[in-house]
């Protein structure tokens, strides 16, 4: 799918639209209609937030979801994410991650984040309180090392899938003769 937004990496901002008709979609139109500023600054801030949070091409794509949100809010100059912005961001995410490969990448990243959270709570001094294992270590270091090896393979697989996704996106563009497709292509 062609990227909806034109993103300026130096400014870390959305500066235009590749698909102007996107503003007719109710989830995006509400952001424009709600914005009473003369230059629609709040709308552009919202689009910047959406791109940074959910685009496959976001420079923040490798960040954890918490860090990505923090940095996206900062770059977009947004302090509070409105319900309308949440809805528009979810809609954009669904448009953006619209192939099986891209959806798999997103799910694998989410799994890696959960695994990272697991590492945060591991404490090798904790002991089992009851049962047959009472007094033994709650977390097994050998098991943790095994999980880490699996995580390395998952990270490598995510990188392979990202390369496959890039090729998929490029081949679709080439099949169209370099022409932009509609938002549902």
Looking at the fold, whether 54 and 114 belong to one and the same domain comes out as no
Sign for the pseudo-dihedral over CA of 157, 55, 184, 170? negative
84 vs 105 pLDDT, higher one: 84
pTM: 0.69
Looking at the fold, whether 12 and 73 belong to one and the same domain comes out as yes
Report angle CA 79, 4, 181 to the nearest 5 degrees: 165
Looking at the fold, whether 42 and 2 belong to one and the same domain comes out as yes
Q: What is the pLDDT of residues 125-148, one digit of tens each?
A: 888 888 888 888 888 888 888 877
Looking at the fold, whether 167 and 117 belong to one and the same domain comes out as yes
> Distance of CA 9 to CAs 13, 47, 48, 167, 185, Å?
7, 14, 11, 22, 26
Looking at the fold, whether 65 and 28 belong to one and the same domain comes out as yes
Which residues form the domain of 25?
Answer: 1-97
3-state helix, strand, coil in the chain (%, to 5): 60, 5, 35
Looking at the fold, whether 85 and 138 belong to one and the same domain comes out as no
Looking at the fold, whether 91 and 156 belong to one and the same domain comes out as no
Looking at the fold, whether 88 and 133 belong to one and the same domain comes out as no
Looking at the fold, whether 5 and 92 belong to one and the same domain comes out as yes
Q: What is the pLDDT of residues 4-18, one digit of tens each?
A: 899 999 999 999 998
Q: What is the pLDDT of residues 17-36, one digit of tens each?
A: 988 888 899 999 999 999 99
- Quickly state the pLDDT bin for 175 (edges 50, 70, 90): low
Looking at the fold, whether 33 and 70 belong to one and the same domain comes out as yes
Q: What is the pLDDT of residues 51-62, one digit of tens each?
A: 999 988 899 988
State the Cα–Cα distance between residues 93 and 96, nearest whole angstrom.
5
């Amino acid at each position: 799918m062609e990227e909806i937004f034109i993103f300026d990496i130096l400014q870390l901002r959305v500066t235009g639209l590749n698909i102007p008709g996107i503003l007719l979609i109710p989830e995006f139109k509400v952001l424009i209609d709600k914005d009473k500023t003369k230059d629609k600054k709040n709308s552009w801030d919202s689009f910047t937030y959406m791109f940074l949070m959910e685009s496959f091409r976001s420079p923040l794509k490798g960040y954890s979801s918490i860090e990505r949100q923090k940095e996206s809010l900062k770059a977009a100059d947004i302090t509070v994410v409105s319900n309308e912005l949440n809805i528009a961001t979810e809609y954009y995410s669904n448009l953006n991650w619209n192939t099986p490969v891209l959806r798999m990448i997103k799910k694998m990243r989410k799994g890696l984040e959960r695994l990272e959270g697991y590492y945060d709570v591991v404490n090798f001094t904790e002991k089992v309180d009851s049962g047959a294992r009472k007094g033994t270590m709650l977390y097994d270091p050998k098991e943790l090392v095994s999980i880490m090896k699996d995580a390395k393979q998952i990270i490598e697989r995510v990188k392979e899938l990202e390369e496959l996704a890039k090729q998929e996106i490029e081949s679709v563009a080439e099949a169209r003769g370099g022409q932009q497709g509609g938002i549902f292509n």
